[in-house]
């Protein structure tokens, strides 16, 4: 049996590991870098307990002259205290389990329509033809972005993401393009917010407009409109794409799910654990803290690798195995504590409905090419994945 690749010798700190995730090998598979690391930020109990500990604040983003990183500083995952609660409350009401269930039929209908469109060809790029447009359409419907603006918004978000993923490149063009995209999107959502204040509609933008926020609160709301769309579809795109790949390479799991569709929720949880769309997060202790014998001095940021924690053998026996019957499965793909992902219920429904529809409607779905995974930071990004199926 081949020995799994180990973290590079230079990875003496969590920040060394993060740097290695920007390498070609780390971009393609973060576990090449993270697997076997003894660092605290890779250990399940440490990561979980830091995320839950009120002595730790959200990760600090240093001040930056770049609009893209100024935008990032305002996202709710970077905020704390009353400011965090105000933004979270503004968006959170749409993500209760009851409300999300109302989207189940919508997701099923749109998934079926995308499959119908692709089916005659006998193959498709799963990312561009299914896994990206499905959650992107749903999240824009919730927010209230007009259909005619969505192609532009999708391109702007992709530009922003490239800037984040390539921030360490010597070529500064991606970051400069991300700055332009950030400013354009902030201007767009400011105008849309004003339009909804004047002419309300049945969408989240109208609810945000009714809060009459100004100053810093308004800027936080605008920044988090961008975060809402980005986080609401990109992580789900990664889940659907790499979840499909897992199933294509584990036909016995597909057979079990077809025999008993009630197993889909557990299967999606296992996909979330193995894929971990958001590779890492961070936290900064407000005061000196000791977590499982690790001293965390006040003000010294800690990086927390969710992808590594989700494959910690101390928490998950045989952690690299895809086991749709794994129980319990307390993965950290949605983080934990005060910053637990708001969109978790919607992501879960997308996974259950979209993947079950895909494998039901397209018999013998098969991977034609490996997924083209292009980044691991901050979200695992998959650009292309070609699949084929039995075609009558």
Q: Which residues contact 229 (CB under 8 A, 6 or more apart)?
A: 136, 139, 140, 143, 145, 153, 157
pLDDT, position 62: 81
- Ordered by where they begin, the domains of the chain are 14-388 (1.10.630.10)
CB 246 within 8 A of CB 274: yes
User: Residue 364, by phi and psi: left (phi above 0), alpha (psi -120 to 50) or beta?
Assistant: left
Interhelix angle 264-275/344-361, nearest 10 degrees: 110
Structure-block tokens of residue 131: 């896994």
Neighbours of 382 (CB within 10 A): 24
Structure-block tokens of residue 369: 């090419």
Q: What is the pTM of this model?
A: 0.91
Neighbours of 300 (CB within 10 A): 10
Residue showing tokens 């936080």: 220
pLDDT, position 268: 98
Please give the backbone phi and psi of residue 79, each rounded to the nearest 5 degrees, phi first: -105, 160
Residue showing tokens 């930056």: 64
CB 282 within 8 A of CB 301: yes
Residue showing tokens 């660092």: 39
pLDDT, position 9: 47
- 8/63 Cα distance (integer angstroms): 30
User: Per residue of the chain (392 residues), what is the pLDDT tens digit?
Assistant: 444 444 444 468 999 999 999 899 999 999 999 999 999 999 999 999 999 999 999 987 788 899 999 999 999 999 999 999 999 999 987 777 777 888 899 999 999 999 999 999 999 999 999 999 999 999 999 899 999 999 999 999 989 988 887 777 777 788 999 999 999 999 999 999 999 999 999 899 999 999 988 999 999 999 999 999 998 899 999 999 999 999 999 999 999 999 999 999 999 999 999 999 999 999 999 999 999 999 999 999 999 999 999 999 999 999 999 999 999 999 999 999 999 999 999 999 999 999 999 999 998 999 999 999 999 988 899 999 999 998 76
CB 211 within 8 A of CB 228: no
Q: Which residues contact 163 (CB under 8 A, 6 or more apart)?
A: 68, 174, 175, 176, 177, 178, 179, 181
Specify which residues 296 forms β-bridges with.
289
Alpha carbons within 13 angstroms on the beta-carbon side of residue 178 total 23
């Amino acid at each position: 049996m081949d020995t799994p690749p180990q973290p590079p010798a230079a990875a003496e700190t969590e920040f060394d590991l993060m740097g290695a995730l920007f390498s070609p090998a780390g971009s393609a598979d973060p576990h090449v870098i993270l697997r076997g690391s003894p660092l605290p930020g890779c250990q399940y109990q440490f990561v979980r307990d830091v995320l839950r500990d009120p002595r730790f604040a959200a990760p600090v983003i240093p001040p930056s002259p770049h609009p893209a990183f100024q935008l990032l500083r305002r996202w709710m995952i970077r905020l704390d205290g009353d400011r965090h609660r105000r933004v979270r409350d503004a968006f959170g009401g749409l993500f209760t389990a009851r409300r999300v269930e109302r989207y189940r039929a919508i997701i099923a209908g749109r998934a079926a329509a995308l499959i119908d469109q692709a089916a005659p060809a006998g193959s498709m790029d799963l990312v561009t033809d299914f896994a990206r447009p499905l959650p992107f359409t749903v999240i824009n419907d919730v927010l209230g972005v007009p259909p005619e603006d969505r192609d532009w918004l999708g391109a702007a978000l992709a530009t922003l993401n490239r800037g984040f993923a390539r921030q360490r490149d010597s070529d500064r063009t991606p970051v400069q393009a991300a700055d332009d995209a950030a400013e354009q999107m902030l201007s767009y959502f400011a105008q849309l917010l004003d339009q909804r204040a004047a002419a309300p509609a049945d969408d989240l933008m109208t609810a945000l407009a009714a809060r009459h926020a100004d100053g810093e609160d308004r800027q936080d709301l605008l920044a988090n409109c961008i975060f809402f769309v980005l986080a609401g579809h990109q992580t789900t795109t990664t889940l659907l794409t790499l979840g499909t790949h897992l199933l294509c390479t584990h036909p016995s799991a597909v057979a079990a799910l077809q025999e008993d569709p009630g197993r889909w929720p557990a299967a999606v949880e296992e996909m979330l654990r193995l894929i971990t769309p958001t590779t890492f997060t961070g936290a900064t202790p407000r005061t000196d803290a000791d977590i499982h014998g690790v001293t965390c001095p006040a003000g010294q940021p800690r990086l927390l690798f969710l992808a590594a924690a989700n494959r910690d053998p101390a928490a998950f026996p045989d952690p690299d195995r895809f086991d749709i019957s794994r129980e319990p499965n307390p993965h950290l793909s949605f983080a934990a504590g005060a910053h637990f992902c708001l969109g978790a219920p919607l992501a879960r429904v997308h996974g259950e409905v979209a993947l079950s529809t895909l494998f039901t409607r397209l018999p013998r779905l098969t991977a034609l090419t490996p997924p083209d995974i292009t980044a691991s930071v901050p979200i695992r990004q998959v650009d292309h994945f070609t699949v084929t199926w039995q075609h009558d």
